[in-house]
Structure 1
């Protein structure tokens, strides 16, 4: 598998609506599309998911640019690959920087699937033809605004609602939500906004019949999550804490969680995501696929990953029009009756809408194997 050229596109897309978490509010998405081209001109695409500031992990858009340009692209182009699972070892000389690695590896996986004439889902072992999807709702200006937002998404057909929480926007908010919607599937996501000092508050959430409580404590607190899980009936799901297969194994063995959220960018790519999936399947730990405000290419990779059998909960991979006035792929990702069809055409199963991509593009760089 010889990669002849890497093209790095930098885009800025405006979200249709601001998205607020316990860390801050996002109005624009600044990111990279990685285009891998072989000697026959076939193209594979990956997408970066880091944010401009290091609130989610230590990575940022600028650190992604530096690592991709100065380290990962030279490592990738220096010699051919047999298949994409080798990329993780090729990049092992670079510590962490998982989101940068995942963006490049994603392009390799898409290109590989196209070379083989199979869908990306098939290439990685996916078995589903449709995936269930939920929706993530950021912190709203008021509970009434939140209820209206939930109403709209339920009418659209989403099968699960994830609500962002933080101290002061938790118990009272959930009380009103449950009064309005006593039977819908709800989970909450704290993005590490609490500590064990808040255990009495977190225990109050047990009565609301939540599917799970995602990442209540700090990302490096596996032991404290284990202590908290013993006190809760609600399953804890870990997100930021799981940045590798080793993290997932430690969390399961320590009892830090009962569910794991797998994000391709956070764990360093599809190969590592598969390892975590297979490990959790062997131990009957449900997994699901979280979102990182992806545009169409990253969204397509999430769809392919969620086709693996152990993804038991609806993911955050909602339709393109949930976030974007116009996405960079065609057709755009659409949702019907709470499900998204898994493409069966080669690669990610979507074409690039080049006029739209170019309208969002603010920079473009080309790297070839001759540059080494």
Structure 2
């Protein structure tokens, strides 16, 4: 039975790109076992909630299973830490604790819009040569038919997903892309209020329309109107791994396919995404591209090798060792309770 005696919270500034932030939570129980969690690009209220409320809710409290804790203050970082602690105490991988059955996952790699078609095809070629059998291309009005045609002609057998990033208003423009056999059409229109357009598009195309939701209610509404045939799960958006399992089960019951994706961060959030993607309904390629090595705190690193992501099954919990020295070096602020 876990019983937390110490809570540590770290705010990290990551050394890449626009220097994003990440917040880590470390829980320690009375036997010395630890559990870790992460939230990437946290909202402004996340830090004060974790510092002021989480310790009051968890320290000294007996619990048998993370589901008993309900909505934990601090969202996905705290929830992940509880699951990691619970799984480590029982000596089971987090993937198995969630009900996952996969030992490896097909990965996708995201390809942003490029300067020209030759450059785009060259980038895709590098990933194909690295072993990827699936890519996800960003498309938007003015950059869609021609780049998709160029990649499809160069690689007839390649799996190609399209991420429209809610940029479209015209169903017809997206319908034309279906002629090039995309594996999915992701986030075609802005929501809420756009489910009718999603349903219209799904009726017109063979490719599954891939929707992202933040609750079971949103999934139920989308299923009811036939707004898609595939679900994108981002564990952080659902707030808890319990929520991940519920929307997974709802999508499977509706006959939808599922893909998983997660923020880069330090590798911890990606590790939780890998565990979620091991669930039996997650049959679409997952997006767990390796975070920059300068930011990683986990060993082994989280990422794809030859287009495949291994699900860690030889260690309990998240399945990765944490470089605590590196955590402290990257932290710009910390709190202990």
Query: Normalized against structure 2, the TM-score is what?
Result: 0.92
d(CA) in 2 for partners of 1:139, 1:357: 34
Structure 1 unaligned spans of 5+: 19-26, 51-59, 95-99, 368-372
Structure 2 residue aligned with 1:338: 307
d(CA) in 2 for partners of 1:76, 1:254: 41
Whether 2:202 is the aligned partner of 1:270: answer no
Whether 2:75 is the aligned partner of 1:86: answer no
Structure 2 residue aligned with 1:224: 197
Structure 2 residue aligned with 1:97: none
Whether 2:276 is the aligned partner of 1:302: answer no
d(CA) in 2 for partners of 1:11, 1:142: 37
Structure 2 residue aligned with 1:41: 32
Whether 2:181 is the aligned partner of 1:209: answer yes
CA contact (8 A) 1:75 1:90 kept: no
Q: What per-residue deviation string (whole Å, max 9, x for no partner) do you get for residues 116-175 of structure 1?
A: 111111111111111221112233343333222211111111231011122222222212
Structure 2 residue aligned with 1:53: none
d(CA) in 2 for partners of 1:161, 1:364: 38
Q: SS at 1:62's partner residue?
A: coil
d(CA) in 1 for partners of 2:228, 2:58: 35
Structure 2 unaligned spans of 5+: none
Q: 1:193 to 1:69 in 2, by over 3 A?
A: farther
CA contact (8 A) 2:265 2:295 kept: no
Q: 1:174 to 1:35 in 2, by over 3 A?
A: same
Q: What per-residue deviation string (whole Å, max 9, x for no partner) do you get for residues 240-263 of structure 1?
A: xx0012211221122111000111
CA contact (8 A) 2:95 2:278 kept: yes
Structure 1 residue aligned with 2:131: 157
Q: SS at 2:218's partner residue?
A: helix
CA contact (8 A) 1:14 1:324 kept: no
Q: SS at 1:61's partner residue?
A: coil
Deviation at 1:76, TM superposition (A): 3.6
> Quick check: 253-262 or 357-366, which moved more?
357-366
d(CA) in 1 for partners of 2:188, 2:282: 21
d(CA) in 2 for partners of 1:358, 1:343: 25
Match of 1:66 among 29, 34, 48: 48
Structure 2 residue aligned with 1:179: 153
> Quick check: 337-346 or 140-149, which moved more?
140-149
CA contact (8 A) 2:22 2:265 kept: no
Q: 1:34 to 1:338 in 2, by over 3 A?
A: same
Match of 1:118 among 92, 114, 121: 92
Q: 1:67 to 1:208 in 2, by over 3 A?
A: farther
